[in-house]
Amino acid sequence: MPVQFDEGVTAMDIAKYIGLFLLKNHYCYIHGLGNMELVKRPATHDGKALQPPSYEVQVTPGGSIDDNLANFIATNEQISISKAANTLREYSIQARKDMANGQEVPIPHIGHFIEGGGRVKFVTDANFRYTPAGIPTIRNSKQLDEQNSRLQQKPSYPAPHKADSINWSMVILVVVLLIILGGGGYGIYYYMTSMKAAPAPVAVVPKDTVVQAATPVAAPDSTQPVKDTTSAAMPAAPATVTASSADTVKHTYKMIIGDYPDLEKAEKRMRNLKINGNRAEVMPKDSAGYYVFTNIKCFAADTAHVKDSLRILFGYKHVTISNK
């Protein structure tokens, strides 16, 4: 796609950054195209030899709003995040148009996007090979360097055989460990033998123990009126405190992403958003005009972040939550 975007960033540059971000993070969300994932396939046996594990890229529709790719592009191209997000959105729109015309949208050295059955798919290049980063190990660099230096030193004349020096520190350490283990074993043996030898304590009850009789209770006076205690107010039970579920349950919010004076313009904007894979609807305002909105499911604490992301993605500065 020989298309030139803002700040001199081309479609090939965007495709390159998509590939780099995918290999670095094993995923890459592209608004309008879907969520790319680097999936590991297990090793297989073809009847002759065992083939090693392989990796392929899969695309799933939808996904959560993610600005990480735009931040990655902005950092590498030295441009603002908003311009990077706009450039990425233009790339997504152009890619959907090219795929609708039967063209392939390539990602260098990884594969290409195609459209099949109205859905975006990704075909991994047959020559694509991915090797994950190795696990770092910790070594005693000083000891290895000393060993290598001794091996590299060659005497210029025959040297007499010399016995290896004794590492006294290791000898002392082993002796101390043996003393500690011996003392611990003796302590356990002494404890077990003392427990077996000690008789169990026997409870002794004194012979002259006197049990005090309970004080008799006087009978109630029949001449005095009996006080009714059945109607006495019971103390109120403490109110049960329940944890608020606002931070543990996601709610669906109507996020307003457009404001238009007539229904024709609002519906035109809604159709354009749906072509790009967005979910958008139209509803009337309280006064003249119409809103374009999208339903977002998120936690109540995340609504501010969602608003900021929608402002960047759709270029509408007055993103609000509808009360209707």
Q: How far apart are CA 290 and CA 283, in angstroms?
A: 6
Class of CATH domain 251-321: alpha beta
pLDDT band at 156 (very low <50, low <70, confident <90, very high): low
Give the whole-angstrom CA distance, residue 125 versus residue 57: 9
| Domain ranges within the chain, ordered by starting residue | 6-124, 251-321
The Cα 66–Cα 153 span in angstroms is: 58
6-20, 30-44, 78-92, 135-149, range with the lowest pLDDT: 135-149
pLDDT of residue 154: 54
Q: Which range has the top average pLDDT, 6-10, 64-68, 176-180?
A: 176-180
Band of pLDDT at residue 66, cut at 50, 70 and 90: confident
Q: How big is the CA angle at 11 (ends 7 and 14), to the nearest 5 degrees? A: 80
pTM: 0.42
pLDDT tens digits, one per residue of 165-186: 678 888 999 999 999 988 777 7
pLDDT tens for each residue of 188-209 = 777 777 766 555 554 444 444 4
Q: What is the pLDDT of residue 2?
A: 47
Q: Is residue 21 scored above 90 in pLDDT?
A: yes
- List, for residues 225-282, the tens digit of each pLDDT value: 444 444 444 444 444 444 455 567 888 998 998 998 888 988 998 998 888 888 889 9
The per-residue pLDDT for 323 is 80
pLDDT value of residue 229: 46
Nearest CA-CA partner of 61 in 118, 108, 138: 118
- Using the predicted structure, report yes or no on whether residue 3 has a pLDDT greater than 60: no
214-241 residue pLDDT tens: 444 444 444 444 444 444 444 444 444 4
pLDDT of residue 137: 58
Q: Rounded CA gap, 234 and 96, in Å?
A: 71
CA–CA distance, 19 with 141 (Å, rounded to integer): 37
